[in-house]
Amino acid sequence: MKKIIIPVDFSEHSEYALRTAAKLAKKYDAELLALHMLEMSDIMLSASDGLQNQKAAFFLQLAEQRFEKFLDKDYLEDVKLTPIIKHFKVFSEVNDVALQHNADLIVMGSHGTNGLAEFFVGSNTERVVRNANIPVLVVKNDVSDVNFDVVAFACDFSEEAIKPYLNAVNMFKNTNTKLYIIHVNLPNDKFLSSLDLEKKAVNFFTKAERNLDKMKDVQYVCDYTVEEGVLNTANKIGADLIVVPTHGRKGLAHFFQGSIGEDVANHSTLPVMTFKI
């Protein structure tokens, strides 16, 4: 992990993200790219008259000063930091910046007292997650420890979950992280027998790992919803982080044929990381 992007809107929650990203930067000797998207109208930016140009220059200078003040933190002293200001508040640009700078991770903070519910339903973080080609780490409070010793990976054992699973394995391969795979068995017509579950797991790991060593780290749980099963099991195993695959532009609601991303993030007190399918 060499470069980390943090979208900044000067809120308390973006400072949670900045502080978390700083800890990750120190751990991995990475560079931070602090990104602020200035909400300025197209008319103001493209206007030819002098007054509008003066207004645009004034607001840009004001944003730069506020940005500089926001980034004046003690915990950033030993971190390589590059501030970036974009003139448009278009959240797909976060992915553009990530590609331009070959970034490895986006870190965002959640808004609202109820956690990430507002984020994943027509909000800024949902837009970033849907457009991001790289992992997105979403935090809702101050993360004291970024070692992530125990990680819970929500998995339905489908073939499309292989890519995000391998990306998650690769991200934590040089750490002491213990990665558990959580599979939730649902009632009614979605219920699978123990034999069917094992067959799915064997097929998944045969294709993903070409061996069955990780079978011992699978946590099977029966619950009424995938969200409840993932959260309950993550708490049971003492997870520090929950990882959820996402279909990107199709939204998290399509994963597990339900709204697992939104609901897990809404109810989880843990950081949630998304990997694109």
Report how far apart, in Å, the C-alpha atoms of 170 and of each of 10, 166, 173, 216 are: 32, 6, 5, 19
3-state DSSP assignment of residue 11: coil
The confidence band for 119, taking pLDDT boundaries of 50, 70 and 90, is: very low
Report the 3 state secondary structure along 144-209: CCCCCCEEEEECCCCHHHHHHHHHHHHHCCCCCCEEEEEEEECCHHHCCCHHHHHHHHHHHHHHHC
Stretch 72-87: mean pLDDT = 90
Stretch 146-173: mean pLDDT = 94
Report the range of poorest mean pLDDT among 11-15, 107-111, 164-168, 252-256: 252-256
Q: What is the pLDDT of residue 122?
A: 39
Rounded Cα–Cα distance for residues 155 and 243 (Å): 9
Q: What is the pLDDT of residue 61?
A: 78
Q: Is the pLDDT of residue 106 over 50?
A: yes
The dihedrals phi and psi of 11, each to the nearest 5 degrees, come to -85, 170
Report the range of poorest mean pLDDT among 115-119, 165-169, 186-190: 115-119
Q: Is the pLDDT of residue 112 over 80?
A: no
Q: Is the pLDDT of residue 40 over 80?
A: no
Q: What is the pLDDT of residue 249?
A: 52
Burial class, 217, CB count within 10 angstroms (exposed 0-12 / middle 13-18 / buried 19+): middle
**Through-space distance between the first and last CA atoms of the chain, rounded to whole angstroms:** 20
Strand partners, 274: 136, 244
Stretch 65-80: mean pLDDT = 91
Rounded Cα–Cα distance for residues 103 and 9 (Å): 20
The CATH number fitting domain 3-139, selected from 3.40.50.620, 1.10.490.10, 3.10.310.10, 3.30.565.10: 3.40.50.620
pTM, full prediction:
0.85
How many other C-beta atoms are found inside a 10 Å radius of the C-beta of residue 158?
14
Instruction: Determine whether domain 150-276 maps to CATH 3.50.30.50.
Output: no
Beta carbons of 97 and 84 less than 8 angstroms apart: yes
Q: Where are the beta strands (DSSP E) in the chain?
A: 3-7, 31-37, 81-86, 105-109, 136-139, 150-154, 178-185, 218-222, 241-246, 272-276
Q: Is the pLDDT of residue 51 over 50?
A: yes
Q: What is the pLDDT of residue 262?
A: 55
Beta carbons of 232 and 141 less than 8 angstroms apart: no
Q: What are the pLDDT digits (tens) for 206-244?
A: 999 999 999 999 999 999 888 889 999 999 999 999 998
Mean pLDDT taken over the chain: 83
Q: What are the pLDDT digits (tens) for 254-277?
A: 444 444 655 676 667 789 998 888
Q: What are the pLDDT digits (tens) for 179-190?
A: 999 999 999 878
Sign for the pseudo-dihedral over CA of 86, 139, 274, 223: negative
Q: What is the pLDDT of residue 107?
A: 95
Q: What are the pLDDT digits (tens) for 13-37?
A: 889 999 999 999 999 999 999 998 8
Contacts of 75 (CB under 8 A, 6+ apart): 19, 22, 23
Stretch 123-147: mean pLDDT = 84
> Where are the domain boundaries for CATH 3.40.50.620 in the chain?
3-139, 150-276
Q: What is the pLDDT of residue 102?
A: 94
Question: Alpha-carbon dihedral of residues 205, 210, 214, 219, nearest 10 degrees?
Answer: 10
